[in-house]
Structure 1
Amino acid sequence: MISSEIGKEVIKKELALIPKLPGVYKMINSKNEILYVGKAKNLPNRLKSYVSEKNHIIRTERMLSQTKKIEITTTSNESEALLLEANLIKKHKPKFNILLRDDKSFPFIFIGKEDKWPQIKRHRGKKEKKGFFFGPFASAGSANWTIKMIQKIFHLRVCDDTVFKNRERPCILYQIKRCSAPCVGFIEEKEYKQSVDDAIEFVSGKSRKIQKNLSQQMEKASEELDFEKATILRDRIKSLNIIQSSQRVNEANLVEADVIAGYKESGKTCIQVFFYRSKQNWGNQAFYPKHDAEENLSEILNSFVSQFYENKSVPASIILSENIREKDLIEKTLSKKEDKQINISVAKKGSKLKVINQAIKNAKDSLSRKLYESQNNKELFESVAKKFNLETNINLIEVYDNSHIQGTNSVGALITYGEEGFIKKRYRKFNIKIRENSQDDYGMIKEVLERRFKRALQEKDNYLTFPDLVLIDGGKGQYSSARSSLNELGLHDIPVIAIAKGKMRNSGNEVFFHNGKELKFEKNDPTLFFLQRIRDEAHRFAVSAHRAKRKKGMTSSLLDQIEGIGSIRKRALLNHFGSARAVESASLDEIQSVDGVEEKVAKKIYNFFHE
């Protein structure tokens, strides 16, 4: 029986020592794991409520029954406590908190206006560079599409500085009219700067003004009989019309806002975030926060908003589908963080309500698909367990594959599949370290599994929890190697299955090995298709890791062995001469003529090849 008295006694002992200040408290269990992170305007008053209240919800009862220790951190004010709470929840992922699981940074478009020849590119992470940032965009694809349109209209460069400085003739982007070739002086600096200014105004929502300017320039070029320039301007206006029609101005006239809507069903929640900037919809993203089934939607949204903006830029307006408990505190905290007024509101009527209802519909549809996939996966897991007579329930499968070419650039790969699909954050690649294993598939499997499961047994940093099933891409030999590796580590209870293609190496004739038996499925069996799919994903990941390693090896050269030759000088030399062999054949004067290679470095390079 669950007893909350254990945690209550821990709190009672600490109460007298806790200052009456705002701050954050952590509930910790006997394994020193953080169970829950909470905040309070007055720490003792908040913690007293755990002791005095008699009828806690089941989740709180369970948490208190496991609490063996409390740690507190005081802050200057409640806003600081809110930010610290969000940061700690993201860092430690306590099991009794509502968790925002998909917390990647969103892409922005960056234009480095302070450069002589500004570049446009996609950017993620901290905004440390000087220039203009536009975003966030919901996906890399959305940002890339906008960059492509900007290239078509304004002909800005996308190449990095090293390539730009070492070009002697324009690249293909100039030929297909997506760049004005500033690298070789095909456009004057003043004219290019004007294109940059126009691009910034365009992304800022002033496309009508840009269209008018382009039309005037086209008419002027026609009057001056410069038909080539007029044709280029006409094509740019066409591209501008395409992007205007595809990025319709939203009917709610939202200049800078995030629309956040949630939908809850069967104990699961989907939250949709729509990004509106410069009166345009820049895409949406779905999130599936982790929470107890009985948690209400308002509380889930409250936690989501405070965690979501902990490390992201905040728009002037946040429009929600539900009222949240800490609206005023979050509004005040985010306004202070961004040094501007942030308004959080709930859409109740008019065009904003239409936008929210559309977001709720998206959340509902996304959640329905997610629930269907989860149910489907549960049934497939049960089918696998039944087919192979497994004694354990399956919720998590790890799939392993190897990739190499005649023993070179050998890589082992691990992918993971759970009830909600592929779990990308649990993907791992293993560069084979033992030379004898690099040409031995059995040795590679043994090394990869030993490294992966030893880390878990030792609970080292970044270790993964155990799977319910290990699937190996291979035959009887690979199965035996994997089974013996796990047995040596004492992991006899983790089942292993090997999947091998048939004699003709074609899908559909797979043979499965498990516990000394060979098994086959009917060709149209959904469970076979499922196992093929996750096997193919492991193969794809292994091959991509191998190619990346091989490509890295191919880009290394004799130049890497010369002390003082970094990546920038190396690239400049290769761009100038074409290959390391050509550098070897070059004279001292020729080497010294390369930009960035001064006399002392040129002598070092020349002597390396000729001494």
Structure 2
Amino acid sequence: MIKMDNDQMISKLQSQAKRLPNKPGVYIMSNEQGKVIYVGKAKGLKQRVKSYFTPKPASGKVEAILKEIKTIDITITITEREALILENTLIKKHNPKFNVLLKDGKSYPHIEVSLKHDFPKFSFHRGKRKLKHARYFGPYPNVYAVRNTLNNLQKIFLLRNCTDSYYKNRSRPCLQFQIKRCSAPCVDRISHEDYSFNVNQAVDYLKGNDKSIIDKFIHEMDKASKDQNYERAAFFRDQVANLKVIQSQQYVDGTKKVDADVISLIGERGMYCLAVLFVRQGKILGSRTIFPSKTKYDSHQEILASSLMQFYLEHDVPREIILNQSLSEKKIIEQALMESQKRQTKIKDRVVSYRAKWLKISVANAEESLKSKLASKASISNQLTDLTLALGSKQKLKDLVCFDVSHHMGDESVAACVWLNEDGFSKKDYRRFNIKGLTPGDDYAAISNAIERYYKRINDEGKNLPDLLIVDGGKGQINSVKKVLQSLSIKGQMIIGIAKGDKRDPKNDRIFLEGFKNPVDMNGKDSAKFLVQSVRDEAHRFAITGHRAKKRKQLLQSDLESIDGIGPSKKRNLLTQFGGFQEVKRASVEDLVTVDGINKNLAKKIFNHFHPN
């Protein structure tokens, strides 16, 4: 570990850097508070670290780092590719100030097929692949893409979508059979052989073999027609028509069984957009756009390389990665991905034919998303400028935080906090607070409680205050919040309250500024007023969704306790074994009797309570 004092930082680090080993590894730079501000990798640590402490800084980024750096830690690795993997793992962990950060915390959903069951179902799956006897298809860019695909599978192949416990306990077909979305294997309306045929065709569909499926369906249609089984022939005729409609809705090259992520990085005016087009078995599953942050000091190449590594530390690597530009570190990144995922991949930037078409789509997505984001940012920036002028602030307001509370007649109170900056609403900074031990329905006390907890944490962590605190309410709410901040010795926080006007018409909303008796004159300042209302409405939405989730959980809990024979102890045993209320509802009688204290009669009671039909 290298340490330094403020008055001799450069000279001391220079001399100590000379003693570092010239081996591959990672260096971690921290500030006076011990917070990691930069993580870098090097083929030779000695040469790389020494380069920071030259008389003239090599770049604006180096100059900015040198103003804050206090310590450096190093970790030696065997190879440069190991250093690359470790570097990006640490970036994800520490979120350093001077590293590019790919803010994509999502795990992409897949379609799961459990092949262990005699009559398998195709279902939505997110997270780790737990089942050994299962196949997974994806990744899909979002939940909608998975639901849409599952919907198509049901429509074309008449596959069940019910839980195993529901399937086991059917005595007659459900509604899905009536509307021709399921073949009802639960009550033997289809043979195991025919259902297996449908499953195999569905798997082929997910693998992109649309043409072979259509050929098989046409063959079955002709065969049924010759046998004068016109109902079966009509079924296959309709399925062929459905498949052709779906085919026409997306670009598919069924002859090319390519698994690829087609990635484009586009930058403009200091902002960058990374678009990922997911292609599996020659079929486009959808796309996703991500906006890397902290890109001020980095080149296009550095942003792309860092984004790639961070993305594939959390997601599966396909056989091919197609880029819209060349990458100087292509080979080392390929090796690092091979080492981290135990799967070989090829990075390509010169493509033709269908790959070029995919790349064109990816670039178009990136350009359009970036254009939209820049326009939104410009609009928000202008609104923040207008609000700054309207409130008479000496400095431009850039970070706004707003609190609201939601409850039903005082029950299950939830307070919420949302954050807005020049990039828009910052979801990662949203917070919810369960309110307990206060007078039911006392909004003043609830918001004050949430603000006290929130600002206490800001104090403890040494974070900067937001430029403006917004509360839903008038002067009384502002005064209540002011007392809380005074008790925490927080000074200089600008506070406004937004009070609903006559007839709850947004046009009549009034904005009060702390320290002033009358509302702020917002005439001719519509954009500033609209911004405050938007933030207030978002806080209200976030509070309501939290309250509803809490209420739903409480109702489910009461629902379970209403079953004769279920007390606190048995309820606890059920929840512990199944992991939640929804899982208890889905459990079969056979599953329920495995719980301590639940006999067969009680298990039937529980099952019948949740499945009355």
Counterpart in 2 of 1:467? 466
Give 1:207 deviation, angstroms.
1.1
Residue 609 (structure 2) pairs with residue 602 (structure 1): no
Once the two structures are TM-superposed, the CA of residue 349 in structure 1 deviates from its matched residue by 5.6
CA deviation after TM superposition for structure 1 residue 596, in Å: 3.7
Q: Which residue of 2 aligns with 1:581?
A: none
- In the TM superposition, what is the alpha-carbon distance from 1:176 to its structure 2 partner? 2.2
Q: 1:52 to 1:526 in 2, by over 3 A?
A: closer
1:299 to 2:276 alignment: no
Q: Once superposed, what is the RMSD of the aligned Cα atoms? A: 3.0
**Structure 1: unaligned runs, 5 residues or longer:** 578-592
Q: Tell me: CA distance 1:574–1:96, structure 2 relative to 1, closer, same or farther (3 Å).
A: closer
Q: C-alpha distance in 1, partners of 2:222/2:155?
A: 20
Asked whether 1:561 is paired with 2:568, we answer yes
**What corresponds to 1:209 in structure 2?**
212
1:538 and 2:535 equivalent?
no
| Contact 2:390–2:522 (CA under 8 A) maintained in structure 1 | no
1:444 paired with 2:440, answer no
- Aligned counterparts, 1:148-159, within 5 A: 148-159=151-162
Kept in 2, the 8 Å contact 1:398–1:415? The answer is yes
Q: Structure 1 residues 322, 8: CA separation in 2 closer, same or farther (over 3 Å shift)? A: farther
Distance (Å, rounded) in 2 between the aligned partners of 1:179 and 1:604: 31
Contact 1:250 1:281 in 2 (8 A): no
Change (3 A) 1:42 1:502: same
Deviation at 1:440, TM superposition (A): 0.7
| Contact 1:98–1:291 (Cα < 8 Å) also in 2 | yes
Report deviation, 1:603: 8.3
Could you tell me which amino acid in structure 2 is paired with residue 601 of structure 1? I
Q: Where does residue 460 of structure 2 map in the other structure? A: 458
Amino acid at match of 1:347: R
In the TM superposition, 1:79-478 aligns within 5 A as: 79-130=81-132, 131-249=134-252, 255-347=258-350, 352-436=355-439, 438-459=440-461, 466-478=465-477
Question: In the alignment, which residue of structure 1 is the partner of 2:609?
Answer: none
Contact kept in structure 2, 1:4 and 1:64, CA below 8 Å: no
Check conservation: 2:165, 2:586, Cα contact below 8 A: no
| Contact residue 103 and residue 308 of structure 1 kept, 8 A | no
Q: Aligned partner of 2:574: which letter?
A: G
Percent identical among aligned pairs is 35
Amino acid in the other structure paired with 2:218: S
For the structure 1 residues 445 and 117, does the alpha-carbon distance in structure 2 shift closer, same or farther, using more than 3 Å as the test?
same
- After TM superposition, give the deviation of residue 77 of structure 1 in Å: 1.8
Q: Give the Å deviation of 1:510.
A: 0.6
SS in 2 for 1:601: coil
User: 1:383/1:238 Cα in 2 relative to 1: closer, same or farther (>3 Å)?
Assistant: same
**Matched residue SS, 1:247:** coil
User: In 2 relative to 1, CA 492–72 (structure 1 residues): closer, same or farther, beyond 3 Å?
Assistant: same
| Paired residues of 1:401 and 1:538 also in contact (CA < 8 A) | yes
For 1:489, the aligned partner's letter is L
Q: How does 1:18-97 map to 2 (within 5 A)?
A: 18-51=20-53, 54-97=56-99
Shift of 1:405: 1.2
Shift of residue 55 of structure 1?
Answer: 4.5
User: 1:517 is paired with a residue of what secondary structure?
Assistant: coil
Write the distance in 2 (CA, Å) between the matches of 1:215 and 1:249. 20
Secondary structure of 2:313's partner? coil
Cα gap change, 1:214 to 1:135, in 2 (>3 Å): same
Deviations 1:211-244 (A, max 9, x none): 1222222333344444444343333222211221
Amino acid at match of 2:544: V
SS of residue in 2 equivalent to 1:319:
strand
TM-score under structure 1 length normalisation: 0.88
* Contact 2:210–2:254 (Cα < 8 Å) also in 1: no
Cα distance between partner residues in 1 of 2:191 and 2:438:
56
Task: State the Cα distance separating 1:571 from its structure 2 match.
Answer: 7.2
Contact conserved, 1:400 with 1:472, CA < 8 A, in 2?
yes
Question: Aligned partners of 2:34, 2:286: CA distance in 1, in Å?
Answer: 41
Q: Distance in 1 between matches of 2:211 and 2:591?
A: 43
The TM-score normalised by the length of structure 2 is 0.88
Q: How far off its partner does 1:444 sit? A: 0.6
Is contact 2:386-2:525 (8 Å) kept? no
Q: Are the structure 2 counterparts of residues 351 and 595 from structure 1 closer, same or farther at C-alpha, using a change threshold of 3 Å?
A: closer
**SS state of the match for residue 347, structure 1?**
coil
What are the Cα deviations for residues 316-360 of structure 1, in whole angstroms up to 9, with x where unaligned?
111112222211101122233343431112126665445434433
Q: Deviations over 1:347-387 (max 9, x none)?
A: 26665445434433432332222122111111111211221
Q: One-letter code of the match for 2:445?
A: G
For these two proteins, the number of residue pairs brought into alignment is 586
How far 1:253 moved relative to its partner? 5.2
Cα distance change on mapping 1:201 and 1:389 into 2, 3 Å: same
Structure 2's unaligned 5+ residue stretches are: 1-5, 607-613
Hey, what's the Cα distance between the residues in 2 that align with 1:576 and 1:34? 47
Change (3 A) 1:231 1:488: farther
